[in-house]
Chain A
Amino acid sequence: MKHTEKELITLKEEVSEMWRLVLSQLEKVKQAFLNNDIELAREVASREKRVNSFELKIDSDCENYIALYNPVAIDLRLVLSLIKISITLERIADFADGIAKNIIDRGADPDGDLKEDLQIEIMFDAVIEMLSDSYVALDSENTRLSGKILAKDETVDEIYRNAIKILSDAIRDKKIDAENGLKTMLVMRKIERIGDHCSNIVEEIVFYIDAKVLKHSRNKTSPTLPKEGL
């Protein structure tokens, strides 16, 4: 193996490590939210800095790789994708941190029935699956999963849209006080944004592997993707 390939593998491993950390942050913040576990939420908030450090390190390593090795074709696409993926992972971690802080401040805490109606757990699971599937897609260099991942974002969006009605009804019917309801909405908004960012990661993986640009495309025509509504 050429040394330039080894350097690329090292870069990819760094991003994978960051990815695993962000996945763990998401899983923990989900548990913290569902169980109103403030200690776990504090753990998530305290690990946020590690994610930021990863982003800076990957940024710098990718810049160095470009400067030293002048990558082209698939190598260039990989490095560009890794830079964007690490930025996106950091943003996802920011949302997890935001949710954790919300839990610590005892902001959003809908009761059990409402939590179920809102499908927050399903929403959390969907974005966690999106993030882990996209990890597998990059690791195995296979974009077949991309259609499934992007379709999952539709589910997340739909849950979010439904939540607006459910929460406004619950506030009106005084099943939840307005502040709690609005803060719950903010948490769901963050989860919805995490879903969007996972979609962006998938777009980067498709760019790297298939050299196709899906970004801002309403009809993402890759054969691996659903043709509408992305």
Chain B
Amino acid sequence: MLETKNIDFYYGSFHALKNIAMKIEDHTVTAFIGPSGCGKSTFLRLFNRMNDLIPSMRLTGECLIDGEDIYHKSVDVAKLRKRVGMVFQKPNPFPKTIFENVAYGLRVDGVNDGRFIARRVEESLQSAALWEEVKDKLKKSAFELSGGQQQRLCIARALAIAPSIILMDEPASALDPISTSKIEDLIHILKKDYTIVIVTHNMQQAARVSDKTGFFMLGELIEYDDTKKIFMNPEKEETQNYITGRFG
């Protein structure tokens, strides 16, 4: 389970997240929505410490995965990122073959067993619903794939290192509707084995794929509830104004 307690986050003097408390159950899909700059991506990136790369960042509060504070000094960030995979807005395959893209994480992790790697690559591509499309061209460059295929390749790459949590930062915003639909179907399938947290600007997508939705505004978590509740009868007026398009 993911849990945050009293999270405050600063970029220099900018207070980007304000006292966020949230619990995310295993094997659920949680969507974060909100206007640009509301802090939803910043919050997402807390869970694999991607924000550590920002020099001026400051964090207070607790961010727990299965009860363990991932910001404790004893935590190995590389190991954490093996547990918490990430998929970005724009597909970012490496300039390598399709096979090597998926195998990359395993090789970095020191795995040398070729048969094990081959099996894991196939499993990951199958889990990412890409195997049938690429099984005959594994040695081709990943750049030969379409945008939607590249994004599924990136998902396969994330799956290959066997994470338990997958963070997705607008994973379909650069894709056409058919590729978007494939990614959404994939999220439904992956939920069985992974906990998925997704940031999206597409509210219909949040409604379609997630079990729970968190609405952020100006660094605050305004409302967090079952997705059906949020989209049928939100508690807060700010949420209603945002999802009905009356915001601002």
Q: Give A residues with C-beta under 8 Å from B.
A: 2, 4-5, 70-77, 211
Contact = CB atoms under 8 A, between A and B. Distances in A.
Contacts of B239: 73
Interface of A is mostly: helix
Contacts of A4: 244-245
B232 A5 contact: no
A75 B203 CA distance: 14
Nearest to B239: A73
B143 interface: no
B231 A73 contact: yes
Contacts of A71: 244
B112 interface: no
28 contacts: A2-B245, A2-B246, A4-B244, A4-B245, A70-B204, A71-B244, A72-B203, A72-B207, A72-B231, A72-B232, A72-B243, A72-B244, A73-B230, A73-B231, A73-B232, A73-B233, A73-B234, A73-B239, A73-B240, A73-B243, A73-B244, A74-B233, A74-B240, A74-B244, A76-B231, A77-B233, A211-B232, A211-B233
Interface of B: 203-204, 207, 230-234, 239-240, 243-246
A72 B228 CA distance: 10
Nearest to B235: A211
A151 B243 CA distance: 36
Q: Which of A5, A71, A74 neighbours the largest number of chain B CB atoms within 10 Å of its CB?
A: A74
Contacts of A5: 246
Nearest to A69: B245
A12 to B, nearest CB: 15
Nearest to B247: A2
Q: Which of B204, B231, B240, B244 neighbours the largest number of chain A CB atoms within 10 Å of its CB?
A: B244
Contacts of B245: 2, 4
Contacts of A74: 233, 240, 244
Nearest 9 A/B pairs, CB to CB? A211-B233, A72-B231, A75-B244, A73-B240, A72-B243, A70-B204, A73-B234, A73-B244, A73-B243
Contacts of B244: 4, 71-75
Nearest to B241: A73
Contacts of A73: 230-234, 239-240, 243-244
B163 to A, nearest CB: 32
Contacts of B231: 72-73, 76
Nearest to B234: A73
Nearest to B203: A72
A80 to B, nearest CB: 10
A106 B193 CA distance: 72
B62 to A, nearest CB: 32
Contacts of B230: 73
A67 to B, nearest CB: 12
